Amino acid sequence: MTERVRKILHADCDCFFAAVEMRDNPALRDIPLAIGGSREQRGVIATCNYPARTFGIHSAMPTARALRLCPHLTLMRGQFEKYREVSRQIQAVFHELTPLVEPLSLDEAFLDVTEVEGFRGSATWMAEWIKAECYRRTGITVSVGAAPSKFLAKIASDWEKPDGLTVIPPEQVDAFVRDLPVKKLHGVGPATGARLDAMGIRTCAELRTLPIERLLDDFGKFGRRLYELSRGLDDRPVRIERERKSVGVETTFDQDLPDLAAASAALAPLCDKLQGRLERHGHPPMAGLFVKVRFDDFSLTTLESRGLTPDADSYTRLLEQAWARARRPVRLLGVGVRLVPEEARQQLTLPI
């Protein structure tokens, strides 16, 4: 008996927070709109609509920079309880189609529809139904990608945004992936993308010319992932429950902390807040600690260590080492713990 080809959908709401505000106030639809914190409080953009994107504005951009790019930008503070309610309505649509739903955030999710018998088993028709139902019930447009794997479904959902529907059938996977820019691959960030570009590798077809031994030498264990993705190989399952990998807290300061002493003094309330979160999570098994520092030039560094207890002294030691990497005023400070993965906990309890 041949194994059924997987059918994975990735559904992603278009500029979700902004879309909800435009739905509730149609006068906002055709003007540059962003949801985010204020310039005075060192805020960042959570999302923006498509008119704002024509000015180069994007999520995670500092609000001050967004306003320089577009002085007439309409900036709104997020109404997250309203967004969560709309998200619940959209997630309900997903669950009417299949119980195999993996939410990634309020506005996107993976769905495994391999075994769905409705719609004559057509992933395309299922995607069309999702789009129509989400819009009918909430007034929000959703872009959907359909493919045999998660990484291709996610790429497909972004292919024709907004309000897009892109299907990559199994027989077209190889041709699609060959022409795909390597910077589209899951996990390839700016640093890895720059390294590949320096090697003359810009497409997956070019990446396939490198033997796996070379990729492992140059990129470590991520080299194997590059080898697989460049060939369209991704068998990650849709997980109904996402496992938490870390617990952390962070804050962006209204004014930069000028030196290490000021940054160290700011650790205490963060550590107290972290302890409260760990208590609410039942003090889960920890694999290590980390400190996250963003400097005034927006460079970011994270330092991790194993074998330390999550107290102020441990985080102070990590902060001293992290701050020494740039020795600049600090804009953002974060502390947290890495959690022991479920599979590792199971291995530790196996009998010898």
24 marked ligand binding residue = no
Q: Is 349 helix (H, G, I), strand (E, B) or coil?
A: coil
Q: Is 348 helix (H, G, I), strand (E, B) or coil?
A: helix
Determine the straight-line distance between the first and last CA of the chain, rounded to whole angstroms. 37
**Sign of torsion over alpha carbons 226, 227, 232, 238:** negative
Q: What is the DSSP string of 200-249?
A: T--BHHHHTTS-HHHHHHHHTTHHHHHHHHTTT---PPPPSSPPP-EEEE
As a whole number of angstroms, the distance between CA 202 and CA 219 comes to: 16
As a whole number of angstroms, the distance between CA 69 and CA 301 comes to: 27
Neighbours of 20 (CB within 10 A): 24
254 marked ligand binding residue = no
Cα distances (Å, whole numbers) of residue 341 to 1, 183, 255? 35, 28, 37
For the chain, give the number of residues: 352
Q: At 214, phi and psi to the nearest 5?
A: -65, -40
Cα distances (Å, whole numbers) of residue 208 to 86, 172, 177, 211, 230? 42, 17, 10, 7, 6
Closest of 107, 82, 76 to residue 93, by C-alpha: 107
Tokens describing residue 61: 């951009």
Active-site pick, 96, 108, 128, 171: 108
Q: Is 344 helix (H, G, I), strand (E, B) or coil?
A: helix
As a whole number of angstroms, the distance between CA 288 and CA 159 comes to: 38
Q: Are strands 74-76 and 33-36 parallel, antiparallel or unpaired?
A: parallel
Q: ∠ CA 338-343-345 to the nearest 5 degrees? A: 70
Q: Is 108 a catalytic residue?
A: yes
Binding-site residue numbers are 12, 107
Binding-site residue numbers for Mg(2+) are 12, 107
Catalytic residues: 108
